Amino acid sequence: MTEVVVSGLIVRNRSVLILRRSLNRPGFPGEWEPVSGKLRRGETPWAGVRREIAEEAGLDARVNSQPINATWCKKGAGYRLMLSFAAHAPSGRVHLSREHVAFRWLDFEQIEESPGAEGVRESLRRLVALWPVLRRKAER
């Protein structure tokens, strides 16, 4: 069985939002990560990203329809597919869910020093490289 997880790399003013997982959350407690969550049955990936952004960060964001990164990993007897999408939230205040305890806007120039997993940094690198093109789409 393959589980699909979507991730929203939310940009505002050349910074990307990262969240710190609660210490009592299973799997990677206290780690820094972008908004992410499991895709629901029948849900499109970009609808899933918009839902996760609203649930975890309380933001209304415009999500690019094409993923900027896709990674596979083994999970138990099955696999997990992670699809990362660029999103633009030019305004609005972050309201965290109980899943996270802190947030930070990470400048594009700080990506290499960002906390969290290497896979997250790889998605952030792709975001920064593609942002000049993606920004024009997001602002339409």
138 — pLDDT class (breaks 50, 70, 90): low
Alpha-carbon gap, residue 18 to 7, rounded angstroms: 11
CATH code matching the domain that covers 13-138, chosen among 2.120.10.10, 3.40.50.720, 3.90.79.10, 3.30.110.30: 3.90.79.10
SS3 state at 101: strand
pLDDT digits (tens, 9 = 90+) for 46-62: 899 999 999 999 999 99
Could you tell me which residues come within 8 angstroms of residue 7 by beta carbon, excluding any fewer than 6 positions away?
A: 33, 34, 35, 36, 49, 82, 83, 84, 85, 123
pTM here?
0.89
**15-42 pLDDT per residue, tens:** 999 999 999 877 778 889 999 999 999 9
Query: What percent of the chain is predicted at pLDDT more than 90?
Result: 62
